[in-house]
A and B are shown apart, each in its own frame.
Chain A
Amino acid sequence: MSPFPDRDPQSGGEPVFVIDRRRIYILPTRQGLVFAFVLLLMLAGSMNYENNLGYFMTFQLGAVGLLSMLFAFRDLHGLRVSLLPATPVFAGETAWFTVQVDNRGGRQRHGVLIRLDPRPAGAPGLRSPSPDPVVVRAPLAAGGEHRAQLGLITQRRGWQTLDGVLLASRHPFGLFRAWAPIRLRARSLVYPAARGEQPLPAPYAEERTGPRARSGSEEDFAGLRAFQRGDTPKHVHWKAAARHESLPVKVFSGGQGGLLWLRYDEVIADEPETRLSQLCRWVLEAERSGLRYALELPDRVVGDQHTANLRSRCLAALALHGLNAAVATSSTKSRSRAEPGTARAPTTDGTDGAAEAS
């Protein structure tokens, strides 16, 4: 392809937020206020001594101050910002969101800062009022781009949303600060923290018996079928039974090694979160040991037909267990909040548990 196609490729299809003039706010900085005070003193001095050069210099500096507002504005104007997907993390880890700033114009931007918005517009109370903010300088040559990473330390499993990023600039003289809240959101999936002392349960294959063989000598979980006479009660999916008219029975297929069932019910703990953490740790251990495993939660089962991303599917299921309702409401809320020109960043890891969660 030609190096300059007619249409510029979007940055990986992410929604792009273009900072136009309506999105830039400007206020004097503390230095700017001190500067104004000094100018007032200088004006008084010039008036008293009837000093014309003093007058002129005072006015000139005043005008420089006014114009620096314009320069600060110019430093942000026309920048294109997008949020890149964050990779999922475990609770307690830092979720890194990548902010990409693209400077299309032929002008270097000298003082652009990217930071978390200390007071995001949409989510009061969700974040502590002033976390130690992350400020990253973005050196932007003419036509250049910069990727900065903002990290949020996650506390709980579920979705960690980043809904307040702003770009600011005090260029050129530090007298005015221009800032533009970026109306983009991104979220990162937060797995439960991998914790727990319980050893991995024994692989299921060792307990396999006759009726199990009748249904096929394979060992992989293949799905559910209706109960038939002779099926061992162990294979009845009791949790799912409540929702079915007939008793569902797990069917297994193929495989050489044993299938390891990681069951919510097998975790010895009272707290659901502790159970999920333990399951999370089991998933990681099983993955590390190269075992074949499946996850059974009270309301769903994540099998291992698609071994390619079994781990992430399992972890996502754990992350979102019991949170579906909350996610649904929060996503509708954010959608209703979305104004023209704002865009919702897609979720992370398109193939992960987000789909299974729904």
Chain B
Amino acid sequence: MGTGRTVPVSRAGNVESIRDHLERATGTGRHGIGGGHAATAGDTPSRQVPNGTTSGRRRRWFGRRRERLDPELADWTLSRARTLWMCVALLLVSLPHATHLPAWVLPLFALIVLYKCWLVWQQRPTPPRILTLLLGLCCIVGVGLSMGTVLGREAGIALLTLLAALKLLETSAARDAYVVIFLGFFLVLTNFLYSQSLTTGGYMLLVVLQLTACMWVLGTPSRRSQAAQARAALRQAATALFWSAPIALALFFLFPRLPGPLWKLPRDAHAGVSGLSEQMSPGDLSELSQSDALAFRVYFDSPPPPSSNRYWRGPVLTRTDGRTWHRAPAPHRRPRQGVQPLGALTRYSVELEPHQQRWLFALDVPVELPPGAMLNHDLELRSGRSIRRDYRYEMVSATSYRLDVDPRSVMRINLQLPLDAHPMARQLAARWKRLATSDGALLELALGFFRDGGFSYTLSPPLLPGDPVDQFLFQTRAGFCEHYASAFTVLMRAAGIPARVVTGYQGGEINPISGHLSVRQRDAHAWSEVWLVERGWVRVDPTAAVAPERVQIGARATLLAGDQLGADRLANDGGIDRLWKNLEHTLDYLDSTWNRWVLGYGNRQQEQLLGRLGIDASSLTQLALWILGVTVTVMVLASLWLVRQPPSRDPLQRAWHRLRRRLGAHGIHSDTSEGLEHLSARIAASHPHLAETAGEALRRLARARYGRPPADDIDRAQALRELDAAIQAVPRRPTGHG
């Protein structure tokens, strides 16, 4: 198999092919004068003469279908370099899928790819088509068995990955190779279904660059130097991507966005997102708090409230079976409720990461709602449809407030307790009820119990196999916020005070660079709300009674302070840690910008942005005209830049002028009629001290000008460098010699 290297045509090398053509010519029809058959001037070992069986036509489907190849691609061979480029592309593109595909898929994929490499290296023929087909069937069966289906997103990606490898395996002609690359592009897209982070975006940009360069390599004859080939390919790909960026951006912002999906998404379309759920059991939040994943970002328009006041209200849980808390179904009659803000309102916008649920987070408690959202009976802020993509909404909240709710609607559900659960807690509550004169006093008693009862705040509380509330209150006395919130709410209900568990996030970290607040899963929190006759619903955070620093510096710092190592790290507030923190903030800032402008761009944002630019986003004609306009403009600019007249003077001529200037400084002048050799001789006679250097420069110039033309740019550049060095050797000014 040839290497695809191109050498200048010489007749000597063509004897074989001429003869072949002559033989073929005699077998075909007659032609008039001036007509005739074409003969080949085949120039490489790989340019075999088409003989009807192997290279000219390809045997496909057991020889049933024969197809002529495009003669301009007939000399295409699957060289080692091309194979390597394609293999690297496929590996790069499927690597990020390692985490969500069955364990056997990627190893099999890599095996097929390596097998292909081996075949090409050993110059073995492409395996028969039947083998590829069988392998393909095996892959489908394998995916079906291990994933339970061959449909759906994950299975589809697994199949697509294997298909790409199999296509590579059967590649022998240019057409197959291009299909492999196109499959690679499609695989890039599948990666975006899992992550659209800045990191993924950056990585995939590199992959697209590599794939594009791969297309270049597929279409360009190889050169001697693989490194130069790679450089040229990457440069070409980068140029193309650079010029295509403005068009892509314009399309990105102008292409009409649909408010919803085109067809029903497979059930596993949005898998693997962690976050709060509609229920809470002991251990749920502590598990969640190990995750650094972003929950949402907040951009404050007014001064941000202090950390201890930043309670981000999420699902409200009112029903309990003794262990797990659930959301209550909506009541038939919506209670009248009103929020009386006390003090200044906080204005902000929230940028919510998709969590596939319908609730929105707002600072406790929301006063003005974003469009399309509503506040339900439990003061949960809910969106009309589940959040499947980054969602940005504007909010106004009151951090100090008074809630007026019709008491009759509240009582029943918020006093519910499982019948026989928590006997000890009920006893304790009964004792408090006897002691306390009012609900407020009872509340104080309870908080005092938590504060002084030897409770500890820990991420890894002991397991509670029995009655979780009683065991926690009277035995382990170590827990995370969900333990405190649930035990406190049970106690309150047992004492006859309506109470409920509110889940959400507490605190968050303000990014010093941009000033926005990032709330992460590790800030997940649960607290209680109790109904006091004179004050309405009041937020009570029993965790704050146990570990006040939780609401001031956050869960992570609180827990770190608990052990010695963590305390050391917190105390040692400088050096590498601060650097790390800064880096973290910077990345967070970049990521927030990214989310805001790239991922959050949807139907509504498009309307807003284009509206500000005076473009009607709902008019397809207008959008199409704008897209066309931008594309044409960029194409024209690019063509002006790319197809500009190449430099008129060639580098040799510039070198000649440089040399002439240098010689002129020595008083040596030459006109256009003088030959280089004559000039050289003249210098040797008049300026013997220049004879060597100038002579060498002139010799090199003559060789470059009249010698054999360089084979490619590398040789040419090398010759020019040497010529430049020779010219540099000629002294710029006359020295003492005179």
Chain A residues at the B interface, C-beta cutoff of 8 Å: 1-6, 21, 29-31, 34-35, 38, 41-42, 44-64, 66-68, 70-71, 73-74, 77-78, 92, 94-96, 104-108, 110-111, 113, 115-116, 123, 126-128, 131-137, 139, 141-156, 158-161, 168, 170-175, 177, 323, 326, 330
Contact = CB atoms under 8 A, between A and B. Distances in A.
Contacts of A323: 33
A31 B214 CA distance: 14
15 contacts: A31-B178, A42-B189, A49-B265, A56-B248, A111-B220, A133-B38, A133-B71, A135-B71, A137-B75, A141-B710, A141-B711, A141-B712, A172-B219, A173-B212, A323-B33
Nearest to B193: A49
Given A94-B39, A147-B8, A73 B643 contact: yes
B219 A174 contact: yes
Contacts of B374: none
A151 to B, nearest CB: 3
Given A30-B175, A45-B189, A173-B215, A94 B22 contact: yes
B646 A6 contact: no
A148 B241 contact: no
B716 A142 contact: yes
A50 B646 contact: no
A131 B179 CA distance: 29
Contacts of A95: 36
Contacts of A34: 178-179, 182
Interface stretch (B430-438, B506-514, B671-679): B671-679
A17 B192 CA distance: 50
Interface stretch (B307-315, B328-336, B457-465, B595-603): B595-603
B635 A134 contact: no
B400 interface: no
B189 A46 contact: yes
A172 B25 contact: no
Interface in B467-486: none
Contacts, number: 320
Nearest to B636: A70
A146 B9 CA distance: 9
B193 A135 contact: no
Given A57-B188, A63-B251, 5 more contacts: A2-B674, A5-B672, A70-B643, A105-B647, A150-B41
B111 interface: no
Nearest 5 interchain pairs by C-beta: A105-B646, A63-B244, A151-B39, A63-B247, A59-B251
A319 B125 CA distance: 49
B245 interface: yes
B631 interface: yes
B240 A67 contact: yes
Give the size range of B's interface with the partner: 35 or more
Contacts of A71: 236, 240, 642
B260 to A, nearest CB: 8
B186 to A, nearest CB: 6
Contacts of B247: 59, 62-63, 66
A158 B35 CA distance: 11
Contacts of B711: 139, 141
Contacts of B262: 44, 47-48
A136 B675 contact: no
B276 interface: no
B389 interface: yes
A48 B675 CA distance: 72
Nearest to A6: B672
Contacts of B188: 57
A151 B212 CA distance: 36
Nearest to A125: B32
B44 to A, nearest CB: 8
Contacts of A56: 248-249, 252, 598
B299 interface: no
B541 interface: no
B702 interface: yes
A131 B37 contact: yes
Contacts of B244: 60-64, 66-67
A58 B244 CA distance: 11
A308 B186 CA distance: 70
A160 B43 CA distance: 23
B251 A160 contact: no
Given A142-B716, A144-B716, A149-B41, A127 B35 contact: yes
Contact of B35 (A2, A141, A145, A155): A155
B626 interface: no
Contacts of A106: 646-647, 650-651
A171 B232 CA distance: 12
Given A38-B185, A45-B189, A77-B643, A92 B22 contact: yes
B243 A153 contact: no
B713 interface: yes
Nearest to A175: B215
Contacts of B713: 108, 141-142
A159 B33 contact: yes
A56 B607 CA distance: 18
A128 B232 CA distance: 40
Interface stretch (B141-149, B200-208, B408-416, B728-736): B200-208
A29 B218 CA distance: 14
A70 B696 CA distance: 42
Given A30-B175, A53-B192, A108 B646 contact: no
B344 interface: no
Contacts of A45: 189
B343 interface: no
Contacts of A171: 219-220
Interface in B585-601: 598-599, 601
A29 B73 CA distance: 11
A153 B21 contact: yes
B37 A152 contact: yes
Interface string B248-259: 110110010110
Contacts of B204: 53, 57
Contacts of B30: 155
A222 B120 CA distance: 71
A34 B652 CA distance: 44
B41 A66 contact: no
A105 B643 CA distance: 11
A168 B240 contact: no
A80 to B, nearest CB: 12
B8 A146 contact: yes
A54 B189 CA distance: 6
